[in-house]
Structure 1
Amino acid sequence: MTNPAKILVLGVGNTLYTDEGLGVRAAEHLLASYEFSENVTVLDGGTLGLKLIDHIIQYDKLIVLDAVLGDESAGSIYRLVGEDLRKSLGFNNSMHQTDLVDTLIFCELIGTRPDTVVIGMEPEDYQTMNTEISSVAAGRLGDMCEAALQEIAGFGGTFSEKV
């Protein structure tokens, strides 16, 4: 019997700028609301960028939670793979110190790059200094987390709601 894929759910963003931090807030919500199987790790990656390489290379699958600029209305939920990853703020030289695409390229050079998907949300405001996400983002955070849970299940992870 083969071991299940090791899955990293990585919330990224700067929590000082309203919806720029919604990936981190989604990771916090998942950690507060669910218990995960041993092969699933949920991590607040904040704006660590290249400092995340040591964590990322330990996993087979990577689910990034982030704000995404996709030209849809605020609160729209996205699933991005391949070239579409650059729509994610973390893959777009935003306030996240370094481009996450560069981080994945370095992982590939090291010889370990996980399959990556971004679950993101169109931000309402990602420029105002405020530690709370917008009401639009807050209202859709559960849907974003549900999309992340579907990815976890699709990769072979399991979870249950905390009581």
Structure 2
Amino acid sequence: MKNIVVGVGNLLFKDEGIGIYAAKYIEENYTFEPEIEIIDGGTLGFKLMSYFQEYDNVIILDTVSIEDKAGEIFRLPSDVLLGLGNYRKTAHEVEIVEMLEICSVLDKHAAVTIMGIIPEDIEKVEIGLTQSIENRFEEYIAHVIKEIESIGCSANKKNDKTIKQIAQELIGSYNGEHLSRIPNEEDTTWN
């Protein structure tokens, strides 16, 4: 079976980047048997359709626009998602649901599950997560790992990188804290 985890969202808009952070966090901290592909789907939108056709299981990591408290975590299989008309609030949510609708009439398509979390802020232009989403991040990851295991992949922890380390390695910044780009005087690696 071919399985894939796709983190979607936009790192520039606070909690909107949760899917990308989560995918990278899982890639950096876990191994799976059998292997599972993990990608940054960013804002690819309709270009993700090929994954819906090529894979048996697609797990999408994303924010969800459901009326509930920020930080609440949801597991939305495609059949449930198709019934949530009010879910479509951001551009990529619209595209994901439209892709699911198109794929539902094809002969072969993946079992698609969205592992979503309700964001607190997806409008502020800042790299990083709000405190309420960061506080739920480990729990969100635990739910994603459980979902991956439910499709027959065993998970093994290999590292303990934090969300801050992952974000800084990925983009160089996290909630206003930047990686040092100029070596300090004590750094001897530049000699």
TM bucket by the smaller chain?
A: 0.7 to 0.9
Residues 1:104 and 2:62 aligned together: no
2:69 is matched with 73
2:184 is matched with none
Taking structure 1 as the reference length, the TM-score comes to 0.85
Q: Mind listing any 5+ residue stretches in structure 1 that lack a counterpart?
A: none
Task: State how many pairs are aligned.
Answer: 158
Report the Cα distance in structure 1 between the residues aligned to 2:15 and 2:82, rounded to whole angstroms. Answer: 18
Structure 2 counterpart of 1:32, which letter?
E
Deviations 1:60-96 (A, max 9, x none): 1111111012222111111112233576x9x625143
Report the Cα distance in structure 1 between the residues aligned to 2:104 and 2:127, rounded to whole angstroms. Answer: 34
The alpha-carbon deviation at position 11 of structure 1 amounts to 0.8
Residues 1:84 and 2:81 aligned together: yes
Structure 2 counterpart of 1:84, which letter?
L
Deviations 1:119-157 (A, max 9, x none): 111101011111111111112111111111111111101
- Whether the 8 Å contact between 2:61 and 2:114 is mirrored in structure 1 is yes
Secondary structure (helix, strand or coil) at the match of 1:57 reads helix
- Whether the 8 Å contact between 1:74 and 1:122 is mirrored in structure 2 is yes
1:145 is matched with 141
Report the Cα distance in structure 2 between the residues aligned to 1:64 and 1:143, rounded to whole angstroms. Answer: 16
Greater RCO structure (CA 8 Å; 6+ sep) = 1
Taking structure 2 as the reference length, the TM-score comes to 0.73
Identity %, equivalent residues: 31
When structure 1 is superposed on structure 2, of 47-56 and 13-22 the one drifting more is: 47-56
Structure 1 counterpart of 2:72, which letter?
S
Report the Cα distance in structure 2 between the residues aligned to 1:97 and 1:148, rounded to whole angstroms. Answer: 19
1:94 is matched with 90
Q: Report which of the two structures shows the higher radius of gyration computed on alpha carbons.
A: 2
